[in-house]
């Protein structure tokens, strides 16, 4: 269909071929988008660069989202090469492993600030630097959330608080950027086996429980999340902004 022919997309958060960000990148590329990728550190570069080359990406650059300087340099490179940007994918989060164990009340100040900085504030920081490249281009920004933002999920702890902040940021950013023809939405995905998920204590039990209780009685795939991100990034979703879209086999609707 070439829904995104001629569009430029920056994808943040690819860690390996099982990443949700990678599934999103593949979906965008299949519909004609040209891609730019970030990585953090040499270990991730060794994983990300070959994947980016598969999709003929011309920009693969270091960008630690806790560094305003690196964020600025990344988007300057995009501007120099492409002149603008149409799509921004924010698919990254981080918390210290010890803060994803035990009780939330034990979260340290340092752990709290780290999780909120990487997992929530980074969206605002990326949007601020991307704005001059996206303004007036009917752009789309998509970030990744999880049900732990609104309900207590054991061991998700500070990450749930960070995702709640992220979802609130989506609404405020949508209000800010809407007049500039930029949409901002979140996808709340059900549990998917990724590198990040491996750091959550009891993740296998979470995966099994979601499969058992979701109306569709199955797990979701990263590819299903990728297709939803494609929809939100395309003209098909031109009237949608400030929303959290659930891709969880229906789990979110269930009570008891």
Model confidence at 195: pLDDT above 90: no
Q: Measured on CA atoms in the order 38, 41, 45, 48, is the torsion positive or negative?
A: negative
Q: Which CATH superfamily is domain 8-247 in?
A: NAD(P)-binding Rossmann-like Domain (3.40.50.720)
CA distances from 69 to 13, 60, 64, 74, 167 (A): 18, 16, 9, 9, 25
Catalytic one among 104, 121, 156, 251? 156
Q: Give the residue from 166, 148, 158, 174 showing the smallest Cα distance to 92.
A: 166
pLDDT tens, position by position, 227-246: 999 999 999 999 999 999 99
What value does the mean pLDDT of the chain take? 94
Q: Can you give the residue ranges of every domain in the chain?
A: 8-247
| Tokens found for residue 250 | 């229906």
pLDDT tens, position by position, 65-121: 999 999 999 999 999 999 999 999 999 999 999 999 899 999 999 999 999 999 999
**Catalytic residue at 172?**
no
pLDDT tens, position by position, 148-176: 999 999 889 999 999 999 999 999 999 99
| Tokens found for residue 93 | 């989060």
Catalytic one among 146, 147, 246, 251? 146
**Catalytic residue at 156?**
yes
Model confidence at 56: pLDDT above 80: yes
* Whole-number pLDDT of residue 255: 87
* Whole-number pLDDT of residue 211: 86
Q: Give the residue from 92, 95, 90, 91 showing the smallest Cα distance to 112.
A: 95
pTM: 0.95
């Amino acid at each position: 269909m070439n829904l995104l022919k001629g569009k430029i997309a920056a994808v943040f958060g690819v860690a390996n071929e099982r990443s949700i960000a990678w599934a999103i990148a593949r979906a965008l590329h299949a519909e004609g988008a040209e891609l730019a990728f970030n990585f953090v550190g040499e270990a991730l570069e060794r994983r990300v660069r070959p994947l980016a080359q598969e999709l003929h990406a011309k920009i693969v650059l270091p960008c630690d989202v806790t560094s305003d300087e690196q964020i600025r340099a990344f988007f300057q490179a995009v501007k120099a090469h492409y002149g603008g940007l149409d799509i921004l994918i924010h698919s990254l989060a981080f918390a210290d492993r010890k803060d994803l164990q035990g009780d939330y009340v034990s979260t340290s100040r340092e752990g709290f600030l780290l999780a909120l900085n990487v997992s929530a504030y980074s969206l605002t920081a990326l949007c601020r630097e991307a704005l001059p490249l996206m303004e007036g281009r009917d752009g789309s920004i998509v970030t990744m959330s999880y049900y732990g933002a609104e309900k207590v999920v054991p061991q998700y702890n500070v990450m749930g608080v960070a995702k709640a902040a992220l979802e609130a940021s989506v609404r405020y950013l949508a209000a800010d950027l809407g007049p500039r023809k930029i949409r901002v939405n979140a996808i709340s995905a059900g549990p998917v086996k990724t590198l990040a998920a491996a750091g959550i204590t009891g993740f296998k039990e979470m995966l099994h429980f979601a499969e058992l209780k979701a109306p569709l009685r199955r797990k979701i795939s990263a590819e299903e999340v990728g297709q939803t991100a494609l929809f939100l990034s395309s003209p098909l979703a031109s009237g949608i902004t400030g929303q959290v879209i659930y891709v969880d086999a229906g789990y979110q609707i269930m009570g008891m």
